[in-house]
C-alpha cells in the first residue's frame, strides 16, 4: 500500500439520457464546486477558467471571473468566495461583484488547508483526523505526546484557560471515529479504483489504530 495515499476523485458522471428538469444555465467548461452568498443572492460556480457568478434566483450570469488556474472547490466566508487554486498554489478571494485578491499558499514551513470538509466542532477532532490519517501509526505513536503538548500550549497561548491535558486526551481519542466514518461512507459513494482502495484502507486502518491506542471506546459509555 503506497504511503501517503493519493486523494480519491469522484467518478465521472455519464452524459444525461434525458433532458434535465428545471432550467439549465451554461456557466463554462468543467463546472464543479458551488457556493452561494445569501445576502446578495450570488451563486459562484467553479469552472476550468475560474468562477462564473450567477444570480441565484434567476440563473442569469452576472460576471465571469478569470483566475490563473482552474477552480474546483470553494466556500463563502467573510463576504468573499474562497477558492483554492491547486495548480497555482494560490488562494483566490473573490467578492460577489467579481473583485479578486490572490494570496500565495504557504508562508509557513507547513500549511494545511481543507476546503472540502469544514464544520463547527471540537478542534481536537481535526488533530486526530490529521495525525491518524496523514502519517503512519508508528510515526504517530513516536511523537504523539509531543504533538499534543505543543497543541495544548498553542491553545493556552491564544487565551484558552479552561482546557486541560485530560480534556484534550479525551477529545483527541474520540476524533478517530470521524476519520473512520468518513472513509467508510465515502468509499460507498465513489467509483472503486485500486488507488481509492489503498487510500480508504489507510484511513480506516489509521483510525482504528488511533481508537485502540487511545482507548476511545471506553469514553463513550
Per the domain annotation, does 164 fall within a domain?
Answer: yes
Per the domain annotation, does 23 fall within a domain?
Answer: no
Which residues are CB-neighbours of 106 under 8 A, at least 6 positions away? 89
- Work out whether strand 90-94 and strand 75-77 pair parallel, antiparallel, or are unpaired: unpaired
Domain identity same for 147 and 216: yes
Domain identity same for 129 and 189: yes
Task: Give the pLDDT of the chain (221 residues) as one tens digit per residue.
Answer: 455 555 556 677 788 888 888 888 888 888 888 999 999 999 999 988 889 999 999 989 999 999 999 887 889 988 899 998 888 888 889 999 999 988 887 655 555 665 566 667 788 999 999 999 888 899 999 999 999 999 999 999 999 989 999 999 999 999 999 999 988 888 888 888 888 888 889 899 999 999 999 999 988 86
Domain span holding position 152: 123-220
> pTM of the prediction?
0.50
Domain C-terminal end among 70, 104, 138? 104
Domain identity same for 82 and 131: no
Per the domain annotation, does 115 fall within a domain?
Answer: no
pLDDT at 25: 84
pLDDT at 117: 64
Per the domain annotation, does 22 fall within a domain?
Answer: no
Per the domain annotation, does 93 fall within a domain?
Answer: yes
Domain identity same for 146 and 194: yes
Vertex 123, ends 180 and 158: CA angle to 5°? 160
- Domain total in the chain: 2
Cα gap 180→204, rounded to integer Å: 5
pLDDT at 146: 94
- Specify the CATH number for the domain of residue 41: 2.40.10.480
pLDDT at 3: 54
pLDDT at 110: 54
Domain identity same for 99 and 133: no
Domain identity same for 80 and 44: yes
Amino acid at each position: 500500500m503506497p504511503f501517503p495515499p493519493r486523494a480519491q476523485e469522484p467518478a465521472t458522471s455519464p452524459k444525461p439520457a434525458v433532458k434535465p428538469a428545471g432550467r439549465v444555465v451554461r456557466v463554462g467548461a468543467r463546472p464543479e464546486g458551488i457556493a452561494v452568498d445569501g445576502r446578495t443572492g450570488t451563486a459562484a460556480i467553479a469552472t476550468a477558467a475560474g468562477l462564473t457568478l450567477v444570480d441565484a434566483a434567476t440563473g442569469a450570469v452576472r460576471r465571469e471571473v478569470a483566475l490563473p488556474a482552474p477552480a474546483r472547490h470553494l466556500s463563502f466566508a467573510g463576504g468573499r468566495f474562497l477558492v483554492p487554486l491547486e495548480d497555482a498554489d494560490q488562494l483566490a478571494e473573490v467578492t460577489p461583484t467579481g473583485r479578486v485578491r490572490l494570496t500565495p499558499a504557504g508562508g509557513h514551513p507547513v500549511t494545511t488547508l481543507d476546503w472540502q470538509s469544514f464544520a463547527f466542532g471540537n478542534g481536537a477532532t481535526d488533530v486526530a483526523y490529521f495525525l491518524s490519517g496523514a502519517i503512519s501509526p508508528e510515526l504517530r505513536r513516536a511523537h504523539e505526546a509531543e504533538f499534543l503538548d505543543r497543541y495544548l500550549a498553542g491553545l493556552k497561548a491564544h487565551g484558552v484557560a479552561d482546557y486541560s491535558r485530560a480534556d484534550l486526551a479525551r477529545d483527541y481519542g474520540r476524533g478517530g471515529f470521524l476519520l473512520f466514518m468518513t472513509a467508510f461512507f465515502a468509499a460507498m459513494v465513489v467509483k472503486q479504483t485500486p488507488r481509492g482502495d489503498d487510500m480508504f484502507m489507510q484511513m480506516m486502518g489509521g483510525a482504528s489504530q488511533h481508537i485502540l491506542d487511545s482507548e476511545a471506546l471506553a469514553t463513550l459509555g
